[in-house]
Amino acid sequence: MLTPPGSAVDAVAERSQALATSDHSYAAAASRYEEMPFVRTGRSGLRLPKISLGLWQNFGAETRYEKSREMVLRSFDCGITHFDLANNYGRPYGSAEETLGHIVRTDLAMHRDELIVATKAGYDMWPGPYGQGGGSRKYVLASLDQSLARLGLDYVDIFYSHREDPETPLDETMDALATAVRQGKALYAGISSYTPASTSAAAKLLREYGAPLLVHQASYSMLNRWVEKGLLDAVEQEGAGCVAFSPLAQGMLTDKYLRGIPDGSRAAAAPSLDQAYLSEENIAKVKALNDIALRRNQTLPQMALSWVLREPRITTALIGARVWSQIEQNLRALDCLEFDETELAEIDSYATDSGINRWKPPLDAPAAEARS
């Protein structure tokens, strides 16, 4: 029986013990591919599950290992084969990669060819000028080597430039991604949170370097619709897929904040959700959307996921979770993916940009000049 979490130090110690003593008796469910729909990623041959698992929160050393393991393995049993990471996910940085790497090696080793493991480089990671993030060749390729070491893998399936870096020439960053593919350390190249213009430019460069752009990962939700203003058009034109992250607006599109800010929530305890986002106007939108969801016999998170997946250019939606039951409930969004025109019109009256996109690149920012 799991014990209540204690301090962060206790959690790290418990995790270390669990890593050493787990019985690793997992057997994958034979039915794991019966329910999950898989979608082609742009014009590539790679298919991803409609719902994927993101390990940004709750998979680092601060979380009990058995809790993380349960979420990963039960997700795989339900057909979630795509696990999304970045070098700086988890507390301390990199510990989410360590967690997934241990699960893959000890429980999923025989299923490695059934998995899509993705990671990214772009934000601060280690001391000194070469570890502060961005898109330099030095940082990008060193970061990938470190990620592979933490994961204990020979390669990742998708390697992303995590953010656009206006201080580094775009061709330098794209050449680094292509190098990773040519070296066999990544199978596909991706980018995240790039402007539409930079997406097109990046795709052109990657084609020239022999590593076509597979996918763009962008924040997208009913309260954050920036991708509809040119990015999805650019992605489609380039033949890439689009992974939607934060489809629940960092938890705002749940029932969590309908009656204030609960203790232990992201808004109360973490910097990833600014309390300023929970304005009276935004909460009113959330309440109205919750009423629509109830009429559809869905929870608000289920409707939010269904709404994101209604867009045909979205390949998959990344969900995060604190416990397995949240993933289990959110997977039921797949039971009701259709909307009629009346529902969509009503949703549109409340689903408007709400000033919550902390990842949006400045659309008018000039890209760094190419190397001569």
Residue 168 sits in a domain of what CATH number? Answer: 3.20.20.100
The percent of the chain in helix, strand and coil, each rounded to the nearest 5, is: 40, 15, 45
Q: What pLDDT is attached to residue 258?
A: 82
Do the Cβ atoms of 254 and 248 come closer than 8 Å? yes
Q: Which residues of the chain register pLDDT less than 50? A: 1-9, 267-268, 372
109 domain-assigned: yes
Confirm whether 28 is domain-assigned.
no
Contact 289, 300 (CB under 8 A): yes
Any domain includes 96:
yes
Pinpoint the alpha helices (H) of 34-183: 65-77, 95-106, 137-151, 170-182
Whole-model pTM?
Answer: 0.90
Sign of the torsion formed by the C-alpha atoms of 158, 78, 14 and 12:
positive
Give how far the C-alpha of residue 34 lies from the chain's centroid of Cα atoms, to the nearest Å.
Answer: 24
- Contact (Cβ atoms closer than 8 angstroms) between residue 101 and residue 107: no
Instruction: Provide the pLDDT for residue 260.
Output: 64
Q: Give the pLDDT confidence score for residue 367 in this predicted structure.
A: 52
Sign of the Cα pseudo-torsion (339, 344, 347, 353, in order): positive
351 occurs within a structural domain: no
The tokens describing 364, both together, are 């008018």
218 part of a folded domain: yes
Count of structural domains, the chain: 1
Residue 108 within any structural domain of the chain: yes
CA 212/CA 207 separation, integer angstroms: 5
Helices and strands of the chain, counted as H and E runs: 12, 10
Q: pLDDT at position 4, please?
A: 33
- Assess if residue 290 is contained within a domain: no
For residue 320, what are its two tokens?
A: 């995060």
Structure confidence at residue 9 (pLDDT): 47
Is 164 part of any domain? yes
User: What is the span of the domain harbouring residue 110?
Assistant: 37-251+308-334
